[in-house]
């Protein structure tokens, strides 16, 4: 009886434990709340940013003088403790809120939703973004669809030509093989000449740009300041939960130049130089490649919450934000002790894995005639700065010779010289005094 009783008690304990686990698992599920959520999309011409603001958000943050698009939906919101962030469940509930956006501040404005679309274009300096609204957005979307459809048809034709060419090559190879086996070399040579005359079809060029699907939202382009917003339905009533503070901010400083600093032997270890007081140090083991870019300085909290409305930044600190790479410029470089600045031209380069076990990289001048570079775009467009001097001064200028403000930098090359090697030997002398007696003991069998 006792084993059966113990088994029953154990079974009950297991059932109780499982029931408690089930209850606890239900208790751990996030509680979802129905809220008004603002979706925000903004772009400064170089990067597209998107975030959202729940009813718990303090405010919406936007950059002044830039088209930003705001829309509101009724959706489910829940807190996710693992990442300590609020998340949305728009798959379960997603009801767009129709009406007008009312902005209160210096003056009252009432906005209606508009259609908008972004076009992204790829160039040697990266990706640039352009915004279109209303009829211009519809025209861009239509032209992009026509261009995409035409490209798709050309790709199909190119693929078919490739297939036919492969079939013809195989047919000629089989025929040549049969003729050679039969000893008919004259006809075989004729087919070989025909095989060599086959021409590869030309692949259709890429579009080089993309137009995102048209969206509908409120277009906000405001001067810096504090505002308040809410949504009114067609009857003029304010939608509950739609009230929100709006912070529109400007950069503290603009027009400064930053640099991507790329060591020739460590392509993946790119660093940034933001301040004109920065000193760039080289190990002397490789050359340096510089990519200049425009940058602006923003309040850390404002800009952080423009990117991610839930971010935590400091209202007392500032950050440099890169914009777009500067093209059509000249780098002026002067070695220590020389009077005149030399001009360094900007060139395209191609990066490939270095042979051997070192797992390094080679940065080579871009040349489409090289077999390993055909069909590829340049890996970077940059200025090549050799490390053949101990100290360099440089700045960036426009083609007309005027300098970019804040583009000055100093480069110092840190080398190991003979004196350094001698100092290393001197440092090892005490160790030699300990090793020599030990070696003598071993020889004497002690």
pLDDT tens track for 42-78: 987 678 899 999 999 999 999 999 999 999 999 999 9
Question: What is residue 17's predicted lDDT score, i.e. its pLDDT?
Answer: 45
Sequence-ordered list of residues with C-beta below 8 angstroms from that of 225, at least 6 positions apart, any chain:
105, 106, 248
Question: What is residue 10's predicted lDDT score, i.e. its pLDDT?
Answer: 40
Structure tokens at 296: 């602006």
In a domain, 429, yes or no: no
Q: Is the model's pLDDT at 384 over the cut of 50?
A: yes
Residues 272, 373, single domain; the answer is yes
Question: What is residue 130's predicted lDDT score, i.e. its pLDDT?
Answer: 92
In a domain, 185, yes or no: yes
Mean pLDDT of the 311-331 span: 90
Question: What is residue 380's predicted lDDT score, i.e. its pLDDT?
Answer: 87
**pTM of structure:** 0.77
Residue scoring higher pLDDT (287 or 19): 287
Residues 84, 230, single domain; the answer is yes
Q: Is the model's pLDDT at 23 over the cut of 60?
A: no
Query: Distance (Å, rounded) from C-alpha 166 to C-alpha 320?
Result: 54
Token pair 């200028």 is found at 397
Q: How far is CA 388 from CA 287, 385, 411, 415, in A?
A: 9, 9, 11, 11
What is the CATH classification number for the domain harbouring 218? 2.60.40
Token pair 């996030």 is found at 30
Residues 280, 395, single domain; the answer is yes
The DSSP bridge partners found for residue 409 are 394
Exposure string of 7-22, with b = 16+ CB inside 10 Å and e = fewer, is eeeeeeeeeeeeeeee
Pairing of strands 48-53, 244-249: unpaired
Query: Distance (Å, rounded) from C-alpha 329 to C-alpha 346?
Result: 7
Residues 76, 188, single domain; the answer is no
In a domain, 337, yes or no: yes
pLDDT, one tens digit per residue, over 149-189 is 999 999 999 999 999 999 999 999 999 999 999 999 999 99
In a domain, 313, yes or no: yes
Mean pLDDT of the 260-278 span: 82
Residues 148, 233, single domain; the answer is no
Sequence-ordered list of residues with C-beta below 8 angstroms from that of 264, at least 6 positions apart, any chain:
286, 287, 288, 289, 361, 363
Q: Is the model's pLDDT at 358 over the cut of 80?
A: no
Question: What is residue 357's predicted lDDT score, i.e. its pLDDT?
Answer: 57
Contact (Cβ atoms closer than 8 angstroms) between residue 45 and residue 323: yes
Residues 111, 160, single domain; the answer is no
Residues 16, 87, single domain; the answer is no
Mean pLDDT of the 64-93 span: 94
Mean pLDDT of the 3-10 span: 42
Residues 272, 325, single domain; the answer is yes
Query: Distance (Å, rounded) from C-alpha 191 to C-alpha 240?
Result: 81
Question: What is residue 275's predicted lDDT score, i.e. its pLDDT?
Answer: 84
Percent of the chain with pLDDT over 90: 57
Residues 339, 262, single domain; the answer is yes
- Compute the C-alpha angle 243/245/246, nearest 5°: 120
Question: What is residue 376's predicted lDDT score, i.e. its pLDDT?
Answer: 83
Q: Which domain holds residue 236?
A: 33-131+214-249
In a domain, 428, yes or no: no
In a domain, 258, yes or no: yes
Question: What is residue 352's predicted lDDT score, i.e. its pLDDT?
Answer: 82
Q: Is the model's pLDDT at 264 over the cut of 90?
A: no
Residue 359 banded pLDDT, cuts 50, 70, 90: low
Residue scoring higher pLDDT (356 or 267): 267
Q: Is the model's pLDDT at 203 over the cut of 60?
A: yes
* Helices and strands of the chain, counted as H and E runs: 5, 25
Residues 95, 234, single domain; the answer is yes
Query: Distance (Å, rounded) from C-alpha 380 to C-alpha 351?
Result: 8
Residues 242, 269, single domain; the answer is no
Question: What is residue 126's predicted lDDT score, i.e. its pLDDT?
Answer: 80
Mind giving me the DSSP string for 425-445? HHHHHHHHHHHHHHHHHHHTT
Side by side, the strands of the sheet bearing 330-335 are 279-282, 409-413, 391-397, 330-335, 342-344
Average pLDDT, the chain: 84
In a domain, 431, yes or no: no
* Number of domain units in the chain: 4
In a domain, 443, yes or no: no
Residues 408, 367, single domain; the answer is yes
């Amino acid at each position: 009886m006792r084993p059966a009783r113990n088994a029953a008690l154990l079974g009950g304990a297991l059932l109780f434990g499982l029931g408690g686990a089930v209850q606890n698992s239900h208790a751990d599920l996030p509680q979802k709340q129905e809220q008004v959520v603002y979706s925000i999309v903004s772009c400064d011409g170089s990067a597209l940013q998107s975030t959202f603001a729940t009813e718990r958000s303090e405010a919406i943050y936007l950059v002044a003088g830039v088209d930003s698009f705001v829309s509101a939906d009724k959706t489910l919101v829940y807190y996710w403790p693992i990442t300590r962030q609020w998340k949305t469940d728009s798959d379960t509930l997603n009801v767009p809120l129709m009406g007008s956006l009312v902005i209160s501040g210096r003056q009252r404005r009432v906005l209606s939703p508009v259609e908008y679309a972004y076009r992204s274009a790829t160039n040697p300096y990266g990706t640039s973004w352009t915004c279109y609204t209303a009829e211009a957005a519809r025209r861009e979307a239509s032209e992009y669809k026509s261009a995409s459809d035409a490209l798709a048809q050309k790709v199909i034709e190119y693929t078919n030509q490739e297939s036919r060419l492969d079939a013809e090559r195989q047919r000629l190879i089989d025929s040549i093989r049969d003729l050679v086996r039969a000893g008919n070399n004259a006809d075989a040579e004729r087919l070989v000449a025909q095989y060599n005359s086959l021409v590869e079809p030309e692949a259709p060029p890429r579009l080089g740009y993309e137009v995102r699907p048209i969206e509908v939202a409120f277009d906000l382009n405001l001067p810096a300041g504090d505002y308040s917003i809410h949504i009114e339905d067609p009857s003029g009533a304010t939608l509950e939960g739609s009230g929100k503070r709006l912070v529109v901010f400007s950069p503290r400083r603009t027009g400064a130049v930053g640099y991507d600093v790329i060591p020739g032997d460590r392509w993946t270890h790119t660093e940034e130089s933001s301040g004109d007081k920065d000193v760039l140090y080289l190990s002397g083991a490789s050359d340096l490649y510089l990519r200049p870019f425009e940058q602006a300085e923003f309040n850390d909290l404002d800009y952080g919450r423009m990117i991610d409305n839930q971010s935590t930044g400091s209202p007392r600190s500032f950050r440099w934000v890169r914009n777009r790479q500067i093209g059509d410029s000249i780098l002026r470089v002067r070695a220590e002790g020389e009077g005149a600045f030399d001009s360094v031209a900007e060139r395209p380069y191609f990066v490939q894995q270095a042979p051997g076990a070192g797992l390094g990289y080679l940065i080579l001048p871009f040349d489409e005639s090289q077999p390993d570079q055909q069909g590829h775009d340049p890996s970077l467009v940059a200025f090549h700065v050799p490390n053949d001097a101990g100290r360099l001064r440089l700045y960036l200028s426009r083609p007309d010779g005027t300098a970019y403000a804040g583009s000055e930098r100093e480069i110092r090359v840190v080398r190991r010289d003979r004196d350094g090697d001698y100092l290393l030997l001197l440092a090892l002398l005490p160790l030699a005094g300990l090793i020599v007696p030990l070696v003598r003991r071993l020889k004497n069998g002690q």
